[in-house]
Every structure is written in C-alpha cells, then in structure tokens.
Amino acid sequence: MKIFWFIPTHGDSRYLGTSRGARVADHAYFKQIAIAADSLGYEGVLIPTGRSCEDSWVLAASLIDATRRLKFLVALRPGLVAPTQSARMAATLDRLSGGRVLVNLVTGGDAEELAGDGQFLDHSARYAQSAEFIRIWREVITRSHEGRAFDFDGEHLSVKGAKLLYPTVQTPHPPVFFGGSSPAAHQLAAEQVDTYLTWGEPPADVAAKIADVRSRAAAQGRQLQYGIRLHVIVRETEGEAWDAATELVSHLDEATVAAAQARFASMDSVGQRRMAALHHGKFNRANVREGLEIAPNLWAGVGLVRGGAGTALVGNPQQVADRIQAYADLGLAHFILSGYPHLDEAHRFAELVFPLLPLQTREKLAAPSLTGPFGEVVANSYAPKTVAAS
C-alpha cells in the first residue's frame, strides 16, 4: 500500500466553487505541501496537468532540493511535446532527483482545452496517438541503458534513430501510470503501462474495471499494479467529518453547479461521464449526504464542480482506513489522495489515519528522526504521553 498526496497547482481553498477561503497558489505554498508530504511519510505527490494548472515538469524540478524521499508523479501529455523530448525531460528529472520520478500518461478528454493546445484528434485517434507516444517514450529510455537507437513509423508519430544519451536512474524506465474508463483506455493500459488508475467509484464498479484491465493484461502476458484517485475528509468523529463536507460546499449555488456540469457534459471523457452519473448535478444543501453518499462513506459532492476525481472518503479515522482497506482488498496498491485545504488535510490524514493502516504500511511510513517529546510540553516539565507517531 503506497499513499500519495496531491499538489493543487490549479488552486486551493476551504470551500468549493468560490473565492472565499482561497489559498494563494504560488511556489511557496506548493513547496510547503511537498515538504509536509515528504516529512510525514507519503510515498509521493501527484502533480496535475492541463490548462488550469501550472506546468507539472517545471514545478517538479523546483521541488527536488526541498524534499528527500518524495516521489513526483508527473503528467505526460501526448501531442504537446515530442515523445523523445519527453523522454529527455523524464531522464533529466530522474537523474537530478536520484530516481524519484513517476510519470502519469494523460490523454485528455476536454476537446476545447485540447484544441487550444493545437490538438484536434477525436477520442479513438487520441488513444491511438497515446499508444504510439508511450511506446516511443518507453523504448527510447529502455534502449538508452544499452546505448541503442530506436526507429518507429506509426500512424501519428514516427522517429528514426531516436536515442537518449543520458539514461535514467530507474530501469528500464520510470514507472508509467495511466487512467481511463473506455475500452480503448483499458487496452492501452493492458499493453503498455505499469499502474492502472481509477477514479473513486463504488467498490463494485472499481472491481469490474480492474477485472477487465487485468484480463486484457493477462492476454498480453503482462501483470499490472492498480491504484485509485480519491479525496479525503477525515475528522475525529463521523459527525465532524460530515460537517466538514457540508462546509466544503456551503457556498455553492445552483448556477455554479449547472455551469460546471454543462461544461463537463461537453467532454468526450468516459471517466468524466461516469463521475457525473454518480450525482447528476443535484444536491440538498440541508443534507449533503442525501443522494451523494453513493457507497458507505463515499461522497460524490466534490464532483459537483470539480472535474476529474470527484469523490471523497468521508468519516472518522477508522472508517476511512476501513474503506481504504476495502479497495486494497480488490488489488489496489496505490492511493493518490487529496483534501481541502491540501496542506491542512495532508497533516490531518497522516496524523489520524496512518496509524490505522496495515502494519507493513505503517512500518514503511517515515518515523520521526528525532527523539524527545511529541506535542507541547506541559507546565515546562511534563511531556505528553505519545499515543501514535504521525
């Protein structure tokens, strides 16, 4: 079980869909989150991509010296940069960071955004292009460890004598993550990636997706790892957690929700349609659980206005840990989490949930490197009793 956090390069706030409670999304804040994730023992951080985000590669490079063990799950966008240039970028970042790079292949599902970046392929063609892109990327890096070049002539991409002179630290290449819900996405995952990611759907739906990808991978003679992207709202009691969920959407209005849902409906992403189907754009302000708690402690309220991952685990520490374990029992090993505001929730989740995770995971989490009192010393003499290290 590997627990990741998230760098909100598209902005952060205490409330969804409003500028109230907003955090300044600058390098100093991103650095605070990265340092927190590193010191608390998270495996890594996902750095997103898209028109609404700061550049993921520039930000990851800027955080190398601020962190020690933290891995960077950085987005690759086929079509924006040549696969050979992306391979060089990944190799450089991997070398400079001492082998702390993971890559997230993002095909994209927003035609308007893609057109703004000069990409006009339809859904099926985008996946065909993505398959060619990641094949070139993988082969160029893999062959660099032996000093060999690579030729490829595809429908969308071609290279001749492609070579990488400075190989990656990780072999054969930095691990490739990828998510998608369409048959084309499942087939691409089965053939070429290392870890398949799903958004936070109910466990039965996740199990069906994993089973399909696993079957397709087996037909290719391959075995993949699996992961899930979720938000978390954890408090010491279940009531406090649902109060926090209520507060998160307390400034949403129907016009904002309707505008966001109309925008999401124009996308050709199968995964986005599946997220929208979980809530249908409706919520009861007086009872945010009504119609939005789509499985025990799984809440679809985030997806009312946020594209992509739109569900959150909501509950007390034991409930959240139990739900994570339920997904782990389906075969998921990577948990890419986030919460609002991201700096605060990174600490809260580590303090409340890390001690409840399976023993092997707890042992792997970073323990404090200093000995002495934990918590504030009382009356200048008495150290608080240590209950659990975060």
Answer whether residue 271 shows pLDDT above 70: yes
What is the model's pLDDT at position 170?
98
Residue 371 resides in a domain: no
pLDDT tens for 220-255 read 999 999 999 999 999 999 999 999 999 999 999 888
List the domain range (segments joined by +) for residue 93.
Answer: 2-234+317-364
pLDDT tens for 302-326 read 999 998 899 999 999 999 999 999 9
Burial of 375 from C-beta contacts in 10 A (0-12 / 13-18 / 19+): exposed
What is the model's pLDDT at position 47?
98
Percent over 90 (pLDDT), the chain = 77
What is the model's pLDDT at position 382?
78
Answer yes or no: are the C-beta atoms of 87 and 57 closer than 8 Å. no
Q: Which of 239-243, 267-271, 385-389 has the highest mean pLDDT?
A: 239-243
Answer whether residue 373 shows pLDDT above 70: no
What is the model's pLDDT at position 9?
96
Residue 375 resides in a domain: no
Q: What's the total number of domains in the chain?
A: 1
The whole-model pTM stands at 0.93
Residue 302 resides in a domain: no
Position 369 confidence tier, pLDDT thresholds 50, 70, 90: low
What is the model's pLDDT at position 375?
76
What is the model's pLDDT at position 108?
85
pLDDT tens for 3-44 read 999 999 999 999 999 999 899 999 999 999 999 999 999 999
Residue 278 resides in a domain: no
What is the model's pLDDT at position 125?
93
Answer whether residue 51 shows pLDDT above 60: yes
Instruction: Output the domain CATH number for residue 353.
Output: 3.20.20.30
Residue 268 resides in a domain: no
Residue 137 resides in a domain: yes
Answer whether residue 300 shows pLDDT above 80: yes
Residue 256 resides in a domain: no
pLDDT tens for 172-200 read 999 999 999 999 999 999 999 999 999 99
pLDDT tens for 153-170 read 999 999 999 999 999 999
Residue 82 resides in a domain: yes
What is the model's pLDDT at position 289?
93
Answer whether residue 357 shows pLDDT above 90: yes
Position 364 confidence tier, pLDDT thresholds 50, 70, 90: low
Answer whether residue 79 shows pLDDT above 70: yes
User: In angstroms, rounded to a whole number, what is the distance separating the alpha carbons of residues 15 and 49?
Assistant: 22
User: Average model confidence (pLDDT) for the chain?
Assistant: 93
Answer whether residue 276 shows pLDDT above 90: no
